[in-house]
Amino acid sequence: MSTPVLRRVIRRETHSPRTVAMFVAVILLILALAYIGLEIVLSLAAQPALLIGPAAAGGWLIGLPTAQPAGLVIAGSVVLALIGVIFIVLAITPGRLSKHVLDGGGRAVVVDNGVIASALAQHLAEETGLARDSITVGVGHRTVDVTVRPGIGIPLDKADVASAAEAELQTYRLAHRVRTRVRIERPAEKEDEL
């Protein structure tokens, strides 16, 4: 992963573009500007407005703080501010895909989190001797969550499962270190009914 081209390829494969958010924002902006332009043209042509004319809209906007209840103005301002913050966050933060980069020795190796989770769950099933269905693994960007549900009376140590999971993750050579969390779920023992 030393060349700039390889780094760019990896970034494109692990981060999602903001195309949908940009598309929605642009469409809303185009519709708003088209409506404002149509109202201005109708006003200049001395035709009745579709909803509200430019002069009436400007007068309403100027008189808004005094004509409307203060709570309503504040609530509307907060909603508009939240929409603005959402658009700013979408514009600044990168969209992450559920993939990890493996150290491929000069090659770009990108693996889906589901593949890592499945391989780790299979390895843990073989290590512990449990059925594959008894182990659930979730892989995130920074953490790996392992949930083991052994049957009644099957001894299982949380530290052993954690060390086996971490050892297996080391063999995958993930480019970014992940933290492993292990949870053992013991089924409640049922009392015999008479």
DSSP string for residues in 10-44? HHHHHEE--HHHHHHHHHHHHHHHHHHHHHHHHHH
pLDDT at 191: 45
pLDDT at 146: 95
- Residue 150, phi then psi, degrees to nearest 5: -75, 155
Match 């201005």 to its residue by tokens: 40
E strand or H helix at 179, and its extent? strand 179-184
pLDDT at 151: 79
pLDDT at 188: 62
Q: In the chain, which stretches have pLDDT less than 50? A: 1, 190-194
Pairing of strands 99-103, 108-112: antiparallel
pLDDT at 26: 86
Does the pTM surpass 0.75? The reply is no
pLDDT at 63: 83
E strand or H helix at 83, and its extent? helix 70-92
Residue 159's SS3 state is: helix
pLDDT at 27: 92
Contact between residue 169 and residue 144 where contact means Cβ atoms under 8 Å apart: yes
Cα–Cα distance, 189 to 185 (Å, whole number): 12
pLDDT at 49: 87
pLDDT at 163: 93
